[in-house]
Structure 1
Amino acid sequence: MGENWIRPYPPGTGRWLVIGWEAAALAFLTWATVQHFDLIGHGVRAVAGLVAALWVIGTWRILQHGVYVSADGVLIRGLMRSRVLRWREIAGVHLHRATHRVGPWKIESGMTVLIERHDGATVNTELWAQGVDFHSRPKLFRAVYQEIRNRHLASAR
């Protein structure tokens, strides 16, 4: 597969809020760990270095998170893993109104983009209308959905 992946949307500013929130939470975790275990000297530096390395890796994954397209297919980068779907593997690209059940109640969580494979399985794309990238930009969410759908349709020709 080609290496010319592009993300058809700019990341939202909410990502930076998440990164800042995680930095504060990890700083608190580091402080609590040092206090709880009465660490000094090298112990403090080891814990701080480990937590800082985890934050850098997490920040990189948050910044890379999203859906990328190329002439070959779709690359979905999540926080923990990435996957590539070739256009020929994809039967369709659809909007899906996501709901979650909590006991007897259904809770609407907004629109997502799903990819349907030829074997009938569906793949979540990480694109969520209420997510950090599209929360205040609903037109962009629809435009990204149309871009992915149009690329899929064009690949079938």
Structure 2
Amino acid sequence: MDEIWTRPYSPGPGRWLVIVWEAVALAFLAWATIQQFDLRGHGITLVGCALAAAWVVGAHRILQMGAYVGRRGLRIHGLVRSRTLSWHDIARIRLHRVTHKVGSFEIESGMTVLLDRHDGSTVNTELWAKGVDFHARPSVFRAVYQELRSRHLAAAK
């Protein structure tokens, strides 16, 4: 029987901004490539089609990114790879405050949701409080975190 996976939040509007940004960047790359190599005819078509295909695949992955819950587990869709974990493989779901050190300065990057597995490894969930889905919606970030914790606790019973 197939598992039904649902994302417990709606994607933020920032995803569309990222997709448009990538389209502009790839268009600039196409223009620069055509100019640099003085392409004509089929060369222009080939570059345009290859970069358009890369954009379509990338845009699809960006739209699918996130955490999906099911009755038996949690599925994490990243930009490049996806992974599925059973609720029973997860020891703990926790918030982690991310900071980056630059010289003697520490730059606060916000909270992210991490999964601690029973084997001692940690899995990133792609859920970031200052990311494109939650930056303007901190209450949604907290609600998703609570939803993951409650589903994990329910599966442990």
User: Quick check: TM above 0.5?
Assistant: yes
Aligned 8 A contact 2:4 2:70 in 1: yes
Residue 114 of structure 2: aligned partner: 114
Residue 38 of structure 2: aligned partner: 38
Residue 88 of structure 1: aligned partner: 88
Q: How much is the aligned-residue C-alpha RMSD, in angstroms?
A: 1.0
Gaps in structure 1 of 5+ consecutive residues: none
Alpha-carbon distance in 1 for matches of 2:69, 2:55: 27
Aligned 8 A contact 1:12 1:132 in 2: yes
**19-28 vs 93-102, which moves further:** 93-102
TM-superposition CA deviations, 1:10-33 (whole Å, max 9, x none): 000000000001001100110110
2:59 maps to 1:59 = yes
Residue 144 of structure 2: aligned partner: 144
2:100 maps to 1:127 = no
Residue 15 of structure 1: aligned partner: 15
Count of residues paired in the alignment: 157
Alpha-carbon distance in 2 for matches of 1:28, 1:59: 17
Note the C-alpha offset of 1:79.
0.4
Give the TM-score of the pair, scaled to structure 1.
0.97
Structure 1 stretches (4+) deviating beyond 3 angstroms? none
**Secondary structure at 1:153 match in 2:** helix
Amino acid at match of 1:66: G
**Secondary structure at 1:116 match in 2:** strand
Gaps in structure 2 of 5+ consecutive residues: none
Identity %: 66
Alpha-carbon distance in 2 for matches of 1:109, 1:31: 35
**Secondary structure at 1:11 match in 2:** coil
**Secondary structure at 1:100 match in 2:** strand
Residue 69 of structure 1: aligned partner: 69
**Secondary structure at 2:114 match in 1:** strand
Amino acid at match of 2:81: R
Aligned 8 A contact 2:5 2:69 in 1: yes
Give the TM-score of the pair, scaled to structure 2.
0.97
Note the C-alpha offset of 1:100.
1.4
Note the C-alpha offset of 1:122.
1.2
**Secondary structure at 2:8 match in 1:** coil
Aligned 8 A contact 1:2 1:70 in 2: no
